[in-house]
Amino acid sequence: GFNLDNYHRLGEIYNWMDYLSKKYPQLVSVETIGYSYERRPIKVAKISSGKPGAKAVFIDGGIHAREWVSTATVVYILNELVENRSRLPSYMANLDFYILPVFNPDGYEYTHTTNRLWRKNRSKNSGRCIGTDLNRNFDAHFGGEGTSDYSCDETYRGPQAFSEPETKAVSKYILGLKQKLSAYIAFHSYSQLILLPYAYGYKAYPKDYKELEMIGKNAALAIRKSDGEVYNVGTPGDVLYPAAGGAYDWVKETVGVKYTFTYELRDTGLHGFILPARLIRPTAREAFEGVKVMVEAAVRRK
Ligand code: 0X9
Ligand code: ZN
């Protein structure tokens, strides 16, 4: 099978996704939802419960190229949903899942070939430098706190909301799922945080903040019970820094999905983005414990 204890190139991940769809044609289908700036496909795996009218959960990783463990964790989750399906709780088996392991394929490949610490996509701006921060490019308080209009900055937001082919493709696809989508979960690294909406400013809380906070804290508790790792919970403005134009703000505010969360995975800074491959499995395992708590809460209350 696929080696879950290593980081993989884009082509290996895509070949494995295609293999799963051939091995389990009733369960898994792979869709190219669009193309990156450099024309690489953006692939989503759909896991079908087979239940008509099933609710759905969307999970992504790799919007920031150097955050390899986010992609590896989403790969692990996809593997659990498919290859270890018999172990899933029924509230998981009754849902459809949309799994996007590599949101930013050009950036991801660039971190393998050229610059391990690249973050943005690879689009050529009218400005001086290459790359837009895709997690500042969503139409959610675009241009607000924690974003830059200078193309050389790591948080460059792009010329306008959804200027980038990657955010255009993913946002359009998510809008198409609006009627069935119960939850959206994004994976990043690092810092060991469970981030709650909204990210766009200081003191930017949705009306249902207390409910989301309770779920986030329960997810963190499940992680701590599983292996002792500590994840802190709060809005980016409270526990990190505000960041407007991000994916989960847009999915909650504009698409209207109530349950949106973002994980910052391991570690807390010893290795940072260059997390050793031996830590993929423990990181992904604990994250999956948190995901189960979030998904159960979302389906129970909706
Ligand atoms: O800055 C970011 O985009 C995230 N941190 S990271 O170190 N992984 O780059 C925080 C994202 C907060 N969420 C949103 N703004 N949607
Ligand atoms: Zn990130």
List, as one string, the DSSP characters of 78-144.
HHHHHHTGGGS-HHHHTSEEEEES-S-HHHHHHHHHT-TT--S---B-SSSSB---GGG-SSSSTT-
The ipTM is 0.94
246 lines ligand 1 (CB under 6 A): yes
Inter-axis angle of helices 105-113 and 10-23, to 10 degrees?
130
Amino acid 125: pLDDT:
81
State the greatest distance between any 2 C-alpha atoms of the chain, in Å, as a whole number. 52
Return the SS3 of 297.
helix
The stretch 70-84 carries a mean pLDDT of: 98
The answer to whether 264 touches 188, Cβ cutoff 8 Å, is yes
264 is catalytic: yes
**Which listed ligand is nearest to 245 at the C-alpha?**
1
Q: Is residue 302 scored above 70 in pLDDT?
A: no
CA of 64 to the centre of ligand 2 (A): 5
pLDDT in tens, 31-63: 999 999 999 999 999 999 999 999 999 999 999
**Half-sphere exposure (CA, 13 Å, Cβ side) for 133?**
21
Q: Which residue CA neighbors atom 11 of ligand 1 most closely?
A: 243
The stretch 180-205 carries a mean pLDDT of: 98
Q: Which of 164, 166, 253, 264 is catalytic?
A: 264
289 lines ligand 1 (CB under 6 A): no
40 lines ligand 1 (CB under 6 A): no
Burial of 232 (0-12, 13-18, 19+ CB in 10 A): middle
Ligand 1, pocket-test mutation among 264, 265, 266, 273, most atoms within 8 A of CB:
264
pTM of the model: 0.98
147 lines ligand 1 (CB under 6 A): no
pLDDT in tens, 93-143: 999 999 999 999 999 999 999 999 999 999 998 879 999 999 999 999 999
